Amino acid sequence: MKLFPSFNHSARRRMTGLIRKETVQVIRDPSNILVAVILPLILLFLFGYGVTFDPRYFNIGLVVEQATPETGSFESALVNSPYFRIEKGHDRRELEDALVAGDIKAVVVLPAKFAAVAYRGDTAPIQVIVDGGDPNTAELVSAYIERLWANWLTQESISRGQSLQPVLVNLEPRVWFNPEISSRNYLVPGSVAIILMLIGALLTALVVAREWERGTMEALLATPIGVAELLIGKLAPYFALGMISMTISVATAVFVFGVPFRGSFLVLTLLSALFMLAALGQGLLISTITRNQLLAGQLSVMSAFLPAFYFSNFVFEIGSMPLALRLVSYVIPAKYYISSLQSLFLAGNIPSVLIPDALGIAMIAGIFFILTALATRRRLD
Amino acid sequence: MWLRIRTLIVKELLASALDAKTRWLVLYSPPLLLLIYAFAITQEVKNIPVAVYNEDAGTVSRDLIARFDGSPTFSEILYFDSWKGAAAAIDSRQAAMAIRLDSAFSRSIAAGKPAKVQLILDGRRSNTAQILEGYAARIVADFNKELAGDDIRPPTVIVARAWFNPNFEPLWSATPALFAVLTMVVGFMVSALTIARERELGTFEQLLVSPIRPFEIMIGKAVPAVLIALASAVAMLALGSLVLQVPLRGSIILLFAAMIIFLTSIVGIGLFISTLASNQQQAVIGLFFYMMPAVLISGYASPVENMPVWLQWLAESDPLMHFIVICKGVFLKNVPASVIFEHTWPMALIAVFTLSAAAWLFRKRLT
Amino acid sequence: MGRPLAQIDRVTKRFVKTGPPAIDAVTASIAAGAITGVVGPDGAGKTTLLRLMAGLLAPDEGALTVCGFDSVREIANARPSIAYMPQHFGLYEDLTVIENLHLYADLRSVDESERGGVFERLLDFTNLAQFTKRRAGKLSGGMKQKLGLACALMGAPQLLLLDEPSVGVDPISRRELWRMILELADQGIGVVWSTAYLDEAERCESVILLSEGKPVYHGPPVDFTHKVEGKVALIRNMPGDKRDVLMRAMEAPEILDGVIQGNTIRLVLNNPMAEDQLRSALSLADAEIEKVPPRFEDAFMASLGGGPKKRSPFTARPVHGAAPDEIVIKADALTKKFGDFTAADQITFSIRRGEVFGLIGPNGAGKSTTFKMLCGLLRPTSGHARISGLDFAAAPSKARARLGYMAQKFSLYGDLTVRQNLEFFAGAYGLSGKRKTAALDQAITTFNFAPYLEAQAARLPLGYKQRLALSCAVLHDPDVLFLDEPTSGVDPRTRREFWTHINAMARRGVTIMVTTHFLDEAEYCDRIALIFRGRVIAEGLPDELKTRSRREGADAPTLEQAFITLVREFDEREAI
CATH classification at residue C305: 3.30.70.100
Q: Out of A108-117, A368-377, C19-28, give the one with best mean pLDDT.
A: C19-28
Q: Which chain C residue's Cα is nearest to A212?
A: C90
Distance of CA C255 to the CA centre of its chain: 25
Contact A146 B157 (CB under 8 A): yes
pLDDT score at B341? 92
Partner B, chain A 249-308, Cβ-Cβ below 8 Å: 293-295, 297-298, 302, 306
Q: Which chain A residue's Cα is nearest to C14?
A: A381
Q: Is the CB of residue B20 less than 8 Å away from at least one CB of chain A?
A: no
pLDDT score at A118? 67
Q: Are residues C249 and C379 in the same domain?
A: no
Q: Are residues A279 and A143 in the same domain?
A: no
Q: Are residues A37 and A109 in the same domain?
A: no
Among candidate residues A175, A197, A178, the one with its CA nearest the CA of residue A342: A178
Question: Which of C288, C309, C330 represents a domain boundary (last residue)?
Answer: C309
Residue numbers in C near B11 (CB within 8 A): 413, 416, 420, 424, 427
Q: Are residues A267 and A306 in the same domain?
A: yes
Q: Are residues C141 and C283 in the same domain?
A: no
Contact B7 C413 (CB under 8 A): no
Q: Model confidence at B367, in pLDDT bands (50, 70, 90)?
A: low
Helical residues (DSSP H) of C108-240, grouped into ranges: 112-126, 141-152, 171-186, 198-201, 221-225
Residue numbers in A near B158 (CB within 8 A): 124-126, 128, 145-146, 149
Q: Are residues A113 and A89 in the same domain?
A: yes
Per DSSP, the residues of A270-301 read HHHHHHHHHHHHHHHHHHHHH--HHHHHHHHI
A173 falls within a domain: no
Give Cα separations from A282 to A197, A199, A372, B25 (angstroms): 9, 11, 8, 21
Overall domain count for chain A: 2
Q: Are residues A192 and A303 in the same domain?
A: yes
Q: Are residues C279 and C142 in the same domain?
A: no
Q: What is the CATH number of the domain that holds A91?
A: 3.40.1710.10
Q: Is the CB of residue C528 less than 8 Å away from at least one CB of chain B?
A: no
Among candidate residues A134, A107, A132, A137, the one with its CA nearest the CA of residue B162: A132
Q: Are residues A119 and A254 in the same domain?
A: no
Q: Is the CB of residue B358 less than 8 Å away from at least one CB of chain A?
A: no
Q: Which chain B residue's Cα is nearest to C426?
A: B7
Query: H/E element holding C69?
Result: strand C69-70
Q: Is the CB of residue C99 less than 8 Å away from at least one CB of chain A?
A: yes
Partner B, chain A 311-330, Cβ-Cβ below 8 Å: 311, 313, 315-317, 319-322, 325
Q: Is the CB of residue C76 less than 8 Å away from at least one CB of chain A?
A: yes
Residue numbers in A near C91 (CB within 8 A): 216, 219
Q: Are residues C53 and C142 in the same domain?
A: yes
Mutate to test the interface with C, among B10, B21, B204, B209 (most CBs of C within 10 A): B209
Contact A133 B281 (CB under 8 A): no
Q: Are residues C113 and C203 in the same domain?
A: yes
Mutate to test the interface with B, among A169, A175, A337 (most CBs of B within 10 A): A169
Q: Are residues A126 and A208 in the same domain?
A: no
* pLDDT tops 90 at residue A357: yes
From A124's Cα to the closest Cα of chain B, the distance in A is 5
Overall domain count for chain C: 3
Question: Which of C309, C332, C356 represents a domain boundary (last residue)?
Answer: C309
Per-residue pLDDT tens digits for C97-130: 999 999 999 888 888 888 888 899 888 888 888 8
Whether residue C38 contacts residue C207, with contact meaning beta carbons closer than 8 Å, is answered with yes
A177 falls within a domain: no
Whether residue A43 contacts residue A191, with contact meaning beta carbons closer than 8 Å, is answered with yes
Q: What is the mean pLDDT of residues A240-259?
A: 92
C465 falls within a domain: no
The distance between the two most distant Cα atoms of chain A, rounded to a whole number of Å, is 94
Residue numbers in C near A2 (CB within 8 A): 76
pLDDT score at A1? 41
Partner B, chain C 378-397, Cβ-Cβ below 8 Å: 378-379, 396-397
Residue numbers in C near A219 (CB within 8 A): 84-86, 89-91, 151
Query: Which of B4, B10, B11 is opposite residue C430, by nearest beta carbon?
Result: B4
Q: Is the CB of residue B48 less than 8 Å away from at least one CB of chain A?
A: yes
Strand order in the sheet with B115-122: A169-176, B115-122, B97-101, B48-54, B74-79
Residue A254: HSE in the Cβ half-sphere, 13 Å Cα cutoff: 16
Measure the CA–CA gap between A378 and A4, rounded to whole angstroms.
12
Q: Is the CB of residue A379 less than 8 Å away from at least one CB of chain C?
A: yes
pLDDT score at A378? 66
Q: Is the CB of residue A137 less than 8 Å away from at least one CB of chain B?
A: yes
Measure the CA–CA gap between B146 and C294, rounded to whole angstroms.
112
Question: Which of C278, C309, C340 represents a domain boundary (last residue)?
Answer: C309
- The one-digit pLDDT tens for each residue of chain C (576 residues) are 446 889 999 999 998 888 788 899 999 999 999 999 999 887 788 999 999 999 889 999 999 999 889 988 888 888 889 999 988 767 888 899 999 999 999 888 888 888 888 899 888 888 888 888 999 888 877 888 889 888 888 888 899 999 988 887 888 888 888 988 999 899 999 999 999 888 899 999 999 999 888 998 999 999 999 998 888 988 888 877 888 888 888 888 888 899 998 888 999 988 888 888 888 888 877 788 888 899 999 999 998 888 888 888 777 777 776 666 788 899 999 999 888 888 899 999 999 988 999 999 887 788 888 998 888 888 899 998 888 888 887 778 888 888 899 887 667 888 889 999 999 999 888 888 898 899 899 888 888 888 888 888 888 877 788 888 988 998 888 889 999 888 877 788 888 888 998 998 888 889 999 998 888 888 899 999 999 988 999 999 888 888 888 776 667 788 888 888 888 888 888 876
Residue numbers in B near C417 (CB within 8 A): 18
Q: Are residues A45 and A63 in the same domain?
A: no
Partner B, chain A 163-202, Cβ-Cβ below 8 Å: 164-179, 181-183, 185-186, 198, 202
Structural domain boundaries, residue A93: 58-160
Contact B156 A124 (CB under 8 A): yes
Q: Is the CB of residue C136 less than 8 Å away from at least one CB of chain A?
A: no
Q: Which chain C residue's Cα is nearest to A29?
A: C94
Q: Are residues C68 and C182 in the same domain?
A: yes
From A66's Cα to the closest Cα of chain B, the distance in A is 19
C46 falls within a domain: yes
Q: Are residues C65 and C143 in the same domain?
A: yes
Q: What is the CATH number of the domain that holds C61?
A: 3.40.50.300
Mutate to test the interface with B, among C374, C387, C400, C475 (most CBs of B within 10 A): C400
From B123's Cα to the closest Cα of chain C, the distance in A is 48
Residue numbers in B near A43 (CB within 8 A): 292-293, 296
Question: Which contacts (CB < 8 Å, 24+ apart) does range A147-152 have?
Answer: A147/B137, A148/A77, A148/A78, A148/A81, A148/A83, A149/B156, A149/B158, A150/B155, A150/B157, A151/A77, A152/A73, A152/A74, A152/A77
Measure the CA–CA gap between C13 and B75, rounded to whole angstroms.
61
Residue numbers in B near A294 (CB within 8 A): 21, 193, 197, 280
Q: What is the mean pLDDT of residues B145-160?
A: 62
Mutate to test the interface with B, among C387, C397, C480 (most CBs of B within 10 A): C397
A175 falls within a domain: no
Q: Is the CB of residue A130 less than 8 Å away from at least one CB of chain B?
A: yes
* pLDDT tops 90 at residue A271: yes
Q: Is the CB of residue B181 less than 8 Å away from at least one CB of chain A?
A: no
* ipTM of this complex: 0.83
How many Cβ atoms are within 10 Å of C106's Cβ, its own excluded?
A: 26
Contact B203 C413 (CB under 8 A): yes
pLDDT score at C223? 93
Structural domain boundaries, residue C177: 4-219
CATH tag, B48-148: 3.40.1710.10
pLDDT score at A2? 46
Q: Are residues A213 and A68 in the same domain?
A: no
Residue numbers in A near B152 (CB within 8 A): 165
Task: Classify the phi-psi angles of C484: left when phi > 0, otherwise alpha if psi is within -120 to 50, otherwise beta.
Answer: beta
Q: Out of A71-75, A334-338, A350-354, give the one with best mean pLDDT.
A: A334-338
**How wide is the angle at C-alpha A203 spanned by C-alphas A200 and A208, nearest 5°?**
100
Contact C376 B209 (CB under 8 A): yes
Contact C412 B203 (CB under 8 A): yes
Mutate to test the interface with C, among A223, A376, A377 (most CBs of C within 10 A): A223
Contact C56 A379 (CB under 8 A): yes
Measure the CA–CA gap between B136 and B31, rounded to whole angstroms.
37
CA dihedral for C394, C397, C398, C404, sign (positive or negative): positive
A1 falls within a domain: no
